Structure formats: structure tokens, C-alpha cells
Amino acid sequence: MQDASDSPVLNTPYSDTAESGRALPAPEPTPAVDINAPELYIHRELSQLQFNIRVLEQALDENYPLLERLKFLLIFSSNMDEFFEIRVAGLKKQITFARELTGPDGLQPQQVLAKISELAHQQVSRQYSILNDTLLPALAEKGIRFVRRHQWTHKQTLWIRRYFRQEVAPIISPIGLDPTHPFPLLVNKSLNFIVQLEGVDSFGRDSGLAIIPAPRSLPRLIRLPDELCNGGDNFVFLSSIIHNHADDLFPGMKVLGCYQFRLTRNADLIVDPDEVDDLARALRGELLSRRYGDAVRLEVADNCPKPLTDFLLRQFGLSESELYEVKGPVNLTRLFSITGLDNHEALQFPSFSPGIPKILMNADNLFQAISKQDILLLHPYESFSPVTDLLRQAAQDPNVLAIKQTLYRTGANSEIVNALVDAARNGKEVTVVIELRARFDEESNLQLASRLQQAGAVVIYGVVGYKTHAKMVLVLRREDRALKRYVHLGTGNYHAGNARLYTDYSLLSSDLALTEDVHKLFNQLIGMGKTQRMKKLLQAPFTLKKRLLELINRETLNAQAGKPAHIIAKANALTDAKVIKALYKASQAGVKIELIIRGMCCLRPGVPGVSHNITVRSIIGRFLEHSRVYYFLNDGQEQVWMSSADMMERNLDNRVESCFPLEGKRLITRARQELQVFISDNTHSWVLQPDGSYVRSSPSGNQNPRSAQATLLDKLASSPQRTVSV
């Protein structure tokens, strides 16, 4: 593990070589700068789009295995789907209802939509170029082929025709368009075809147009039998099969053209908690409406004639700027099904076994181990199993009386939920605070709530008007005739699958003050009453933002007094204007500020006289960077906080969040060193420029390539594989 002094200097004009923690010299006198000036802020949606572009760039990185490069390209598709469903839809809604909101950047929604359209069209075009010109040929060389219609052999053609007649045609319901068959209401992101017809049907209808909705139950990729191919894995797109057999769906008519298209709709659920008496029932109703929200984007095959695309745009009330003509399948995310092919391990990231700390290696009783010391885990490099094991042991331990837990995203049949169900059935007092409104997980959370209730657990849906985003477990255990509390606090969700893909911290503790604070926070969530004073825990929306600003200001005062001053913050996003202004003031005072922000960042670094002491890096790699860590030098008395909250208004002002301190030199030093590993990354680190663009860092001079994620795999995992750079 590198110490801070070993950190390389990134090859950008905005890195500094000051000793870690040393207050930087005050800048030369410059005219006073108004830190409220709009040009000092980046629009959050444009910043989010930049993150999606950085993800797409990974598809070109030849250091990644080939199927992983394809996966990055598909993640870009998935991210863009959500971007349009939520972000673009929100901007359009502001305009529709004349409720335009202007943020610190000063841009109006219309201006942002225009910039989004320009950027998104460029990047979607690049995406399909990367797919068609780079990835598909490379995959074909490795024996993974997508067989196009003009490449079908006679035997393949016969097999595909039989498949169409037996598996596809009986399910498809083509819809002719005429006065009695108006344009159908199409499901969000569903695959559809617009068909141009010639002729008159048996009822004398000759509208010339029809729609073929592709059933969602059908696979989008069909594997051809091995005996019909010359080795390898060979797939046919469902769209190709339907296209090739469109004539069969309109007997007696002539198909002049068949073109695939996909409509993206507003998918943001709106439930006013003040207007409903049962949140779960209201959400069940809203889930159906998500499939049929207002149109926000139309994707069509690039060979679709303009009269047909114009017809579709009119049907959906969209403008030409909202049309995306693509050279390939319009529903690329369905390609995820091939990214984990068992017989192509060399084209995927090598497997690894997460590490287990020594104190837990042979610990039969987790409660005894946690009683000895606080235990910090960094997933996925270290195993998530101690968290699930804690709940399993609690469920079976006769001395455990009660378990309380928050759940945001987990899944109804996860190990965590199984343990809670067992605990309830074993007579423990199990109380679970479930946030039903975790976006796109609402249905799963409703199923989860139902399962827990059936087992006898008490299920609470949090606080009206505030999402419960805190990650907490509290176990109450009788020991030596006294009650003792144990807690798990985390930066990520209780989802074992995500714990193999997302980087997050977990803290297991029996600290008296901290566990008492967690108990108080649960009481606030479950019952009613005034905010209780906490000894160690910070909570949003009450104390977290205020304290975060105080900690930043303390570094500012130290720098002004000539003392060493240093802030390192790692988060998913930085959008809160008050936090940004506090960081600008700290930079002006000479505080060294190193930000590791994966996604949205509205702060502009490197602006003379304002943010010249601030650097911003985004790490994009094998794992999704998800942990939130806040480090303050504090005149040599270092402090580290870890949180479920990003530095966003929604987290700090409108959610229930937890933020906990690390205590003891061992844990604080470890956290600081791990932050420095990310700062020293010169292979998968993207550095934010003052103009809002990102430049990928690379080794300079005699520097060795350094990947933060590879370094942590080597240090923390039990059996890291070093065959590829990650």
C-alpha cells in the first residue's frame, strides 16, 4: 500500500506537488471573484451525461477482456435509458408545466435539453460505430458471432423459419392501422416494428401501415444449434427473424419495408405521500403507469424512410431532435445475456475470492470478535459474508432478543432477507424499515415487504416525505444479565450481488455510544418524537450537512492560520451548492482539496483564484465506485467519516442518511491510505478540467502504471488474479 508521499503527479496542469496535508500558499492577489457566479458551476445533468460518456470510453480500452468491453458499451446503453427516463423527462416536465428551475449554473431547461441532444446524438453514433466496427469483428474472431440475415446458410434459414413458426408467430399480434385500429399504446422501451404494406386485406382495408410489437417474453438473442454452424457460439437477433418473416404475418399483402423502433417514456414514479393513506398500495398502482409515461425519445433503424420516422414522431409528440437513428439493434441492453458465457472465461475478468480479515478468519462467534474491536471491510475486495453471517447468527442465537434493519435495495429472496425471516420465525423482535421508493426496485421492495410481514416481522415504510437511505443493522443481545448492542453501518446497500460489483465500506461495531446513537435513529424512524441528540452519529436531514460544512470551514480556518490543511472526499456525486461554495472558500484560503467523484460533479476545479487548490478525479473500472468517505487533516488530528450520503441536496436535505466516524489510528490510517491509492491511480482515473470535460490520466515520465482497483485486489482479496489490468 502506498503512502501519500509516494503518490505520482498526474499528467495534467491541475495537479500539484505539495507535500500531502501541507497548506498551499495563498494565490497571488487577484480581483475578487464572486463564488455565486453561474460560470463556476456545471449543470448536474450535463455532468451526469459526461459520466456516461466515460463509461462508453471503457469499451475502447484494450486492457479489458473483450466481453467486459462489450459490457461497458451495454452499461452505457442502460445508463442512457435511465438518463432519458428520469433526467430528460424531468427537464421536459418542467417546461410542460411552466415550472422551469434554474440551478447555480444559470442554465434554463431548454438550453440544457439542446446541449443534451447534441452530446447524446454524438455519443450514440459513436456507440454503434464501436459496436459494429470494433467489438463485433473482434468477437467474431473469438468465435462469438451474430449471424445477419444475408449470412444465413440454407440449413440455418430452414431452422430459423421453423423457430419463427413454432415460437414467435403464435405469440405476435400485428396491428393494422386504420380508423378502428388506432395507433397502439406501446410499452416503455419495448421492441416494435413499423411495417409498410401494399394491397387490400379481406375487409377492404388498405391503410398501408401496421405495427408489430415484439413480445417481451421472447429472448432477443437466439442461439443457433451447433450442428448448423462451423464452431463457436452463433446467435441470431429476434429482430432479424421478425424482419425476415414479416410477410408471413400479413398474408396476401406485400411488405414494402419493416423497420424496428423503440420508444423511451418518462419512468419516474410520482406518489404524493400527503395524498395517499397507503403508500404500498399507491406504489403498486403507479408501477403500471411507469410503462406508459410521456414519450421522451424515439430510436429507429437508420434505414427507416423519413416519412415513416416523421409519422412516428407525430404519433408520440416528439421533435426531430428527440429522434435517434441507430445502425443496429435498438435494444442493445438485451445483449447482456451473452457477456457471461461459461465457455469464454478468457474474455471476461478473472475471478477472485474476497478477503476475510484475520480477526474473522476462524471466528465462530461474530459477537465475540466485534466486541474486541471495530471491524472495517472494503467490498468487494473483502467479503460481504460477515454482514450476512452476523444476521444469520443473530437469527439463531437464543441470546439475541431483537434485530432492526433498514433496507433500500436488496431483493425479496436474498440471504439477508432469509436471515430476517428466520429470526422472526424464531421469535425475535424483527423490525425492518423498507424504502419502497428505491427507483426501479419498487416492485422488488413490495415483494420483500410482503414476505417479511408474512414471517411476523414489523415492516415500516420510513418517514413521509423523506426517503430512508441510511444503511444500518442493530442487534440487541443479552450478555451477562445485561443488554448489549451490535451494529453494522455501511455506505452501500444490503445486496450480496452488488457487494461483488460495487465498492463500499462496512463497519461492524459494539461501541457503546455509536450503538446507542443507531438505536436512537431507529426510534426516530419507527416511532415519533423530537430529534434526539447523538454523541457520534451524524444524520440527515438534521445534523449531517451542518457538520460537513463545519468540518470544511475548520480546514479553511486552519489554512488561514498557516496550519496544514487537507480535505479528501470520495463520493458518487457532488451537486450541493452550499458544499461547493464552502470548498471554493477553503481553496481560496489554501486548503489542499482532493475530490474523487465518480459521477456528477457541479464544481469546476482549477479556476484561478477560486478552485486552483482543488482536483477532481473520477475512477471508472471493473467495479462501480460507490463508497462515500470524507477525510479532514484537522491540524494533524485526522478525522475520517463514512456515510450513506453523497454531497447532493437530495441526500443532505431530503433523505434519512447516516454518517459515522472511524475511530482509532489503525482504521483512520487505513482509510487515508486507501483514499491515496485512488488519488495515485494513473490508468483508470479521469481528471475534471475547468471547462467541464474530463481527460484520462496516464503515466508520465518514469511512472509505473497504477490502477487503484488492481492495487486493492492485490492487497485485500484472498486470491487475486493478475492476468489482466483492472
Q: Which three-class secondary structure string do you get for 556-620?
A: HHHHHCCCCCEEEEEECCECCHHHHHHHHHHHHHCCEEEEEECCCECECCCCCCCCCCEEEEEEC
Angle at 449 between CA 444 and CA 454, to 5 degrees: 130
DSSP code for 135: I
pLDDT digits (tens, 9 = 90+) for 422-470: 999 999 999 999 876 555 556 676 778 888 888 889 988 877 778 889 9
| Residues 391 and 366: beta-carbon distance below 8 Å | no
| Residues 6 and 12: beta-carbon distance below 8 Å | no
Q: Is the pLDDT of residue 645 over 70?
A: yes
Q: Report the distance separating Cα 210 and Cα 685, nearest Å.
A: 49
For residue 260, the surrounding DSSP H or E stretch is strand 254-265
Q: Kindly state the percentage of the chain with pLDDT values over 70.
A: 88
pLDDT at 435: 78
- Can you tell me which residue has the cell 475512477? 619
Q: Report the distance separating Cα 586 and Cα 594, nearest Å.
A: 12
Q: Report the distance separating Cα 649 and Cα 101, nearest Å.
A: 14
| Residues 455 and 386: beta-carbon distance below 8 Å | no
Summary mean pLDDT of the chain: 88
What average pLDDT does this structure show over 402-423?
87
CATH architecture of 358-531: 2-Layer Sandwich (3.30)
pLDDT digits (tens, 9 = 90+) for 587-618: 999 999 999 999 999 999 999 999 999 999 99
Helix 577-589 vs helix 544-560: angle between axes, to the nearest 10 degrees? 10
pLDDT at 293: 78
Helical ranges in 427-538 per DSSP H: 442-455, 512-526
Q: Report the distance separating Cα 544 and Cα 521, nearest Å.
A: 13
Strands of 155-203 (E only): list them.
175-176, 191-198
- Can you tell me which residue has the cell 497548506? 23
What residues act catalytically? 469
Q: Which three cell numbers stand for residue 474?
A: 442493530
Its pTM stands at 0.89
Q: Write down the domain spans for the chain.
A: 4-32+539-716, 88-347, 358-531
Q: Of the CATH numbers 1.10.3860.10, 3.30.1840.10, 3.20.10.10, 1.10.287.110, which one belongs to the domain with range 88-347?
A: 3.30.1840.10
Angle at 586 between CA 585 and CA 589, to 5 degrees: 90
- Can you tell me which residue has the cell 489542499? 592
pLDDT digits (tens, 9 = 90+) for 377-401: 999 999 999 999 999 999 999 999 9
Strand 639-643 with 323-326, pairing: unpaired
- Can you tell me which residue has the cell 491540524? 635
Q: Report the distance separating Cα 228 and Cα 222, nearest Å.
A: 13
Number of alpha carbons in the 13 Å side-chain half-sphere of residue 479: 10
Angle at 720 between CA 723 and CA 717, to 5 degrees: 160
pLDDT digits (tens, 9 = 90+) for 294-318: 899 999 999 999 999 999 999 999 9
Cβ neighbours of residue 140 closer than 8 Å, sequence gap 6 or more: none
Q: What is the CA radius of gyration of the chain?
A: 28
pLDDT digits (tens, 9 = 90+) for 90-143: 999 888 877 777 889 999 999 999 999 999 999 999 999 999 999 999 999 999
Q: Report the distance separating Cα 656 and Cα 218, nearest Å.
A: 41
Given this chain, do its domains 4-32+539-716 and 358-531 carry the same CATH topology? yes
Number of alpha carbons in the 13 Å side-chain half-sphere of residue 396: 10
Distances (CA, A) of 270 to 88, 153, 286: 16, 51, 7
pLDDT at 18: 36
- Can you tell me which residue has the cell 496542469? 13
pLDDT digits (tens, 9 = 90+) for 668-701: 999 999 999 999 999 999 999 999 999 999 998 8
Strands of 327-381 (E only): list them.
375-379
| Nearest Cα to Cα of residue 556 among 547, 566, 569 | 566
pLDDT digits (tens, 9 = 90+) for 62-72: 999 999 999 99
Q: Is the pLDDT of residue 234 over 80?
A: yes
| Nearest Cα to Cα of residue 67 among 128, 132, 135, 134 | 135
pLDDT at 36: 92
| Residues 606 and 584: beta-carbon distance below 8 Å | no
| Burial class for 549, CB neighbours closer than 10 Å (0-12, 13-18, 19+) | middle
What average pLDDT does this structure show over 500-510?
96
| Residues 620 and 613: beta-carbon distance below 8 Å | no
- What topology is assigned to 4-32+539-716 in CATH? Endonuclease; Chain A (3.30.870)
pLDDT at 633: 98
